[in-house]
Amino acid sequence: MADEKMVTAITSMEDDFAKWYTDVVKKADLCDYASVRGCMILRPYGYAIWELIQHNLDRMFKETGHENVYMPMFIPESLLQKEKDHVEGFAPEVAWVTHGGSEKLQERLCVRPTSETLFCDHYKNIIHSYRDLPKLYNQWCSVCRWEKTTRPFLRTLEFLWQEGHTAHATAEEAEEETIRMLNVYAKFLNDYLAIPVVKGRKTEKEKFAGAKATYTIESLMHDGKALQAGTSHNFGDGFARAFGIQYTDKNNKLQYVHQTSWGMTTRLIGALIMVHSDNNGLVLPPRIAPVQVMIIPVMQKKAGVIEAADKLRERLSKVCRVKTDASDKSPGWKYAEQEMKGIPLRVEIGPRDIENNQCVMVTRLGRVKTVVSLDNIETAVCEALEKMQKDLYEKALAHKNSHTFDAVDMAEFEKQLNENPGFINAMWCGDEECENKIKEMTGATSRCMPFEQRHISDVCVCCGKPAKTMVTWGKAY
Query: For binding to its own copies (CB under 8 A), which residues are involved?
Result: 32, 34-36, 39-44, 47-48, 50-51, 67-76, 79, 91-102, 109, 111, 118, 121-122, 125-126, 137, 141-142, 144, 146, 157-158, 160
Q: How far is the CB of 120 from its own copies (least distance, A)?
A: 10
The answer to whether 151 and 234 have CB atoms below 8 angstroms apart is no
Q: How far is the CB of 207 from its own copies (least distance, A)?
A: 21
Considering beta carbons, is residue 72 or 466 the nearer one to its own copies? 72
Q: Which are the contacts of 186, defined by CB distance < 8 A and separation ≥ 6? A: 197, 199, 217
Q: Which are the contacts of 166, defined by CB distance < 8 A and separation ≥ 6? A: 66, 134, 135, 136, 137, 174, 177, 259, 260, 261
Considering beta carbons, is residue 141 or 456 the nearer one to its own copies? 141
Q: Is 123 exposed, middle or buried (0-12, 13-18, 19+ CB in 10 A)?
A: buried
The answer to whether 141 and 50 have CB atoms below 8 angstroms apart is no
Considering beta carbons, is residue 90 or 477 the nearer one to its own copies? 90
Considering beta carbons, is residue 257 or 361 the nearer one to its own copies? 257
Q: How far is the CB of 88 from its own copies (least distance, A)?
A: 13
Q: How far is the CB of 275 from its own copies (least distance, A)?
A: 23
Long-range contacts of 351-357 (CB under 8 A, 24+ apart): 351/298, 351/299, 351/302, 351/304, 351/305, 353/298, 353/308, 354/304, 354/305, 354/308
Considering beta carbons, is residue 111 or 410 the nearer one to its own copies? 111
Q: How far is the CB of 322 from its own copies (least distance, A)?
A: 15
Bridging pattern class, strands 345-349 and 293-297:
parallel
d(Cα 257, Cα 247) in Å, to the nearest integer? 7
d(Cα 357, Cα 349) in Å, to the nearest integer? 10
Q: How far is the CB of 166 from its own copies (least distance, A)?
A: 13
- Specify the DSSP class assigned to residue 174: H
Considering beta carbons, is residue 219 or 259 the nearer one to its own copies? 259
Phi-psi region of 339 (alpha: psi -120 to 50; beta: other; left: phi over 0): alpha
Considering beta carbons, is residue 90 or 393 the nearer one to its own copies? 90
Alpha-carbon radius of gyration of the chain: 25
Closest by Cα among 158, 131, 126 to 143: 158
Q: How far is the CB of 468 from its own copies (least distance, A)?
A: 36
d(Cα 456, Cα 452) in Å, to the nearest integer? 12
Q: How far is the CB of 3 from its own copies (least distance, A)?
A: 16
Considering beta carbons, is residue 67 or 458 the nearer one to its own copies? 67
